[in-house]
Amino acid sequence: MARSSWWAVVLLFGFSYSLLEATAETKFFCGMPDQVNGTIAHRGSFLHYDGTLHIGTLYSFFNGTDGYLRWPVDKLDDMSYTFLTSGRVPMEDLRTAVANAFSTWEEHSVFLFREADLNEDADIEIGVYDGYHGDNIPFDGRGGIFAHGSKPADGFLHFDNAEDWSTNPTGIQVDLESVALHEIGHILGLGHSDNDWAIMGRYFGYGRTKKTLTDDDIKGIQALYD
């Protein structure tokens, strides 16, 4: 790629970043820090470890003590999840939105997800909680952080009960499926992407939906597991 095109990419992303920052309703919506225990997450670069050049892929992974954090291979085609509490959200809305989000990741990865059987120890526990809820990552009330998800191979997905969750958001409602899609990305091993359009981008806002994986998200999950 010519140097001039490379700078065009940089400028494009730079521009979008300031646009997002200038938009009042755009929120930092996820509790996942970019730096964990002093280790900066790997940042997907333009020149990859396999020697191929990926233009515009800005995904990241989490560094572990033994390479990137990943789910064990024998888990990938049988990941179970369960719902502990739905808070103010109707359970059927939560169940449908989360199932849709899991399906979207399934379409583009090696993963297969299913709802856990009764009494089964599920791989991923999902709940909607207020404030302090037992994991030292308290929610902050309406606005700010909307939700958080774990890194591999912990499995939790928590939504802030103070938000006005919706499956068809308007006004200051927050879209359940869009946020689930982002947090599941963390659970599977993706950090934040510097591509603000990606599902794994840092920003989201009220009354919006973002339900489709971008090329950046897909390249990220496939680079981690395929």
User: Which chain residues interact with Zn ion by CB under 5 A?
Assistant: 30, 32, 135, 137, 158
Closest distance between Zn ion and the C-beta of residue 124, in Å?
13
Tell me if 79 sits within 8 A of 112, measured CB to CB: yes
The nearer residue to Zn ion, 130 or 135, going by C-beta atoms, is: 135
Nearest residue to Zn ion, scored by beta-carbon proximity: 30
The nearer residue to Zn ion, 71 or 129, going by C-beta atoms, is: 129
Residue 163 among the catalytic residues: no
The nearer residue to Zn ion, 54 or 158, going by C-beta atoms, is: 158
CB-facing half-sphere around the CA of 125: CA atoms within 13 A: 10
SS3 state at 58:
coil
Closest distance between Zn ion and the C-beta of residue 103, in Å?
20
Closest distance between Zn ion and the C-beta of residue 158, in Å?
3
CA distances from 199 to 39, 117, 126, 194 (A): 23, 29, 19, 11
The nearer residue to Zn ion, 117 or 154, going by C-beta atoms, is: 154
Q: Which residue has the tokens 């979207």?
A: 104
Task: Return d(Cα 144, Cα 68) in angstroms, integer.
Answer: 28
Tell me if 181 sits within 8 A of 105, measured CB to CB: yes
CA distances from 152 to 6, 32, 53 (A): 33, 13, 27
> Mind telling me the catalytic residues?
183
